[in-house]
Amino acid sequence: MHQHSFDKTDEVRLIVFKNMSLIISVVALIVAYINIFINKNIALGFIELALAIFCIFTYQQILTKRSKLWHRYAVIYTYFVVVLLAIAVIKLDTGISHWLCTFPVLVYLLFGKKQGLISSFSLLLAVLLIFYIIDKTVTQVNFKLITNVSLTYIIVWGISHVFESMRASNQEEIINLALRDTLTQAYNRRAFKSHFDKHIDFSKPYCFALGDLDFFKKVNDEYGHDAGDAVLVQLTQLFKTHLGDEHVYRFGGEEFTLVVNNDLETAITVMNKLRIDIENHQFTYLQSTLNITISLGLVDIEAREHTNLSDILRLADNYLYLAKQNGRNCIVNGRTKISNECREVLTK
């Protein structure tokens, strides 16, 4: 299942990048003015002016929805190359080195944990190298300042890493809660709709079956709802063994939708093997052994003239109804021989 359909991280990062570009452009313009007209550091000032212009460009690209991923890399790494250049040419006691501490926060916000870890570590090595060069070329170096800046950088880096790790973990948990059935951990109806709408390639064969356990109410009545829950959990594991986790959806109660990314003939074979395995499987609850069967309505989406989800679900439900009417523990599909009386059910 493509969980990224529900992951809004990239959208949030784009908003962060938009505002970051605007802020950096304003700051770069101010610093460029100071370096050009006050400090007379013309070269550095024009480099900062170029950074400001590029950030304005990326801001405009975002507004017109033409932003690319490389824009983010270009802005963030150009920004910190400028900071490193400033550290190399400006006295450390001016406080220029404190700008380094903004890097871990920004890179984790824009790129996440992995890229944040690599980039933050790489910048720290680069900064230590610059400090070493300064130590060799300058007679007096403020080691206390260097130590404080380095330790502050490491603290900010560590906090950024922990925060991003927790954010990613919490988001994954939230997405699972939204997409998974809490009892069986199968995907739910919402996940199926997203999969159907966004990730099905209708140029290839695609089938799904609507399945419903036979006489499941008797299990709950005779053994209790806890037994019914145990059966559903074990049944879901059987489904996943045959089809894979991403092809199993619980629609509610004892009703499941099962996906087969293949033609109807193959899907019939797969579903029939699954049906037989369920029939022969011994479901257990406490000291009891339960025998369960399933009825299935199988739809070949490739053969349909349209791909409206509601219509296809209705057809699958009608096939399932015919399977129940046909004695249960069977599969009904478009090739199943049915009476004219039963055909009327399909057209309702």
- Give the catalytic positions in this structure: 254
| Positive or negative torsion for Cα 216, 218, 223, 225 | positive
Cα–Cα distance, 125 to 128 (Å, whole number): 5
Give whole-number Cα distances, 184 to 52, 192, 195, 225, 231, in Å.
53, 15, 19, 14, 10
Q: By C-alpha distance, which of 261, 290, 271 is closest to 330?
A: 271
Give whole-number Cα distances, 260 to 1, 55, 194, 204, 233, in Å.
13, 48, 16, 11, 21
Contact 279, 213 (CB under 8 A): no
Across-strand partners of 213?
294
Cα–Cα distance, 13 to 67 (Å, whole number): 12
224 three-state secondary structure: coil
Cα–Cα distance, 257 to 307 (Å, whole number): 16
Tokens of residue 116, six digits:
């944040």
Angle between helices 309-325 and 189-198 (to 10 degrees): 120
**Torsion-angle region of 133 (φ positive above 0: left; ψ -120 to 50: alpha; else: beta):** alpha
Cα–Cα distance, 208 to 261 (Å, whole number): 8
